[in-house]
Amino acid sequence: MLFKKGFRILKHQGIIKFTNQFFSFLLKNIFVFRKYNIYEMALFDLKKKYHLLKDRRFRLVIIKLPSEVDRLVENGFKFGYFQDICDIKKMLSQDAILFCVFHKKNWAHTSWASIKNGSSIDPFFKKLKYQNVGYIGTCSTNATYRGLGLYPYVLLEICNFLIKKGMSIANISTAKSNTASITGISKAGFSYYSEGYNLTIVGLKFWVVKTPYNTI
């Protein structure tokens, strides 16, 4: 899979992008120790509303199937140069759901969510077995559209989606060093719950949650 992804980058984005990605991959997989904050929200307490910009050129699309990605691409929607379409479709096939904001047809923000398989979007949720829990995974905002409130807006849209699916709790994690993400999570109304650790040694990854989860 990694060789195929590397070949796609080399073929479509050139040797410079391939070289940058290659060395970035090495740095991230030789030795890494990273701390995370884990947050949760009791969805029955959800009272906050976060309105999207008045600019109607922003559009939120909820993507559940790989075929929907193909349809959007065919219609001229762009997912961003660093978001691999094959990776997106693979995650969708593992019960992940993609919440994507486009400005006109350009990618502005993406957030992953899952109801059935939390580990597909965040390794911290691999052993989470509780009922009625929704998970929120990797979130990314296009640098062009940062500071506009897209992140907390999408988080609350995901929470409303989870409520409609019968979920009572939402969980999300982010690196302790990611102050921008922590700010967005707080604005959406999430509360700090626990601490997690990620250790990577020569490609082997270990994920530990410091405090066991409890249902609310």
Give the whole-angstrom CA distance, residue 123 versus residue 91. Answer: 13
Average pLDDT of the chain to the nearest whole number: 82
pLDDT tens-digit map of 179-205? 999 999 999 999 998 888 888 876 677
| Strand bridging mode 169-175 / 133-141 | parallel
Angle ∠(92,158,173) on CA atoms, nearest 5:
80
How buried is residue 34: exposed, middle or buried, by Cβ count under 10 Å (0-12/13-18/19+)?
Answer: middle
pLDDT tens-digit map of 88-125? 999 999 989 999 999 999 999 999 999 987 888 888 88
Q: Are the CB atoms for 134 and 167 separated by under 8 Å? A: yes
More confident residue, 31 or 43: 43
User: Percentage helix, strand, coil, to 5, in the chain?
Assistant: 40, 30, 30
Beta-carbon contacts of 163 under 8 Å, excluding residues fewer than 6 positions away, are 43, 46
pLDDT tens-digit map of 124-162? 888 666 678 899 999 999 999 999 999 999 999 999 999
Domain annotation for the chain: domains and CATH numbers: 31-209 (3.40.630.30)
- The two tokens of residue 198 are 């990620």
pLDDT tens-digit map of 64-75? 999 999 999 999
The backbone region for 153, taken as left when phi is positive above 0, alpha when psi lies in -120 to 50, beta otherwise, is: alpha
**Of 156, 160, 148, which is closest to residue 188 (Cα–Cα)?**
156
Q: pLDDT band for 63, please (50, 70, 90 cuts).
A: very high
Give the whole-angstrom CA distance, residue 178 versus residue 198. Answer: 15
**Of 65, 67, 74, which is closest to residue 98 (Cα–Cα)?**
65
With pLDDT > 90 as the criterion, what percentage of the chain qualifies?
Answer: 51
Handedness of CA 114, 103, 25, 200 (dihedral sign): negative
Q: What is the pLDDT of residue 186?
A: 93
The answer to whether the predicted template modeling score (pTM) of the entire model surpasses 0.85 is no
